[in-house]
Amino acid sequence: MTVVQPSVADTVRRLVITQLDITGPEPRPDEDLRRWGMTSLTCLGLMLSIEDTFEIELPEDALRQATFRSIDSISAAVESSREQATRIAGEQRKR
């Protein structure tokens, strides 16, 4: 039996909806989340949820308002962090 894993964007969308307590229509992937109630406090909660869910640590340079502007920008930061972690793990195995 094949298990289909949700995409990064789908998982980020779910986390955003949960963190912002959105019911009804969902934000578009490129929509500014401040229009949906994103504050510095909800952004912090979202960041922690993202790091726990994806088992990553977002790099310091990703911890800025532009990263958490939209589902698309958050997804890009997650994918970049995952790629960097994979690259570092591969380099450590070569040693």
Establish if 3 belongs to a structural domain.
Answer: no
Q: Please, which contacts does 58-64 make with residues 24 or more away whose CB atoms are closer than 8 Å?
A: 59/84
pLDDT tens sequence across 35-79:
999 999 999 999 999 999 999 999 888 888 899 999 999 999 999
Closest CA to 29 of 63, 62, 78, 74: 74
**Total number of domains in the chain:** 1
Establish if 2 belongs to a structural domain.
Answer: no
Where do the DSSP E strands lie in 1-66? Answer: none
Domain coverage including residue 51: 8-94
Indicate the average pLDDT of the chain: 91
* pLDDT at 26 (0 to 100): 95
Report the CATH number at residue 22.
1.10.1200.10
Establish if 85 belongs to a structural domain.
Answer: yes
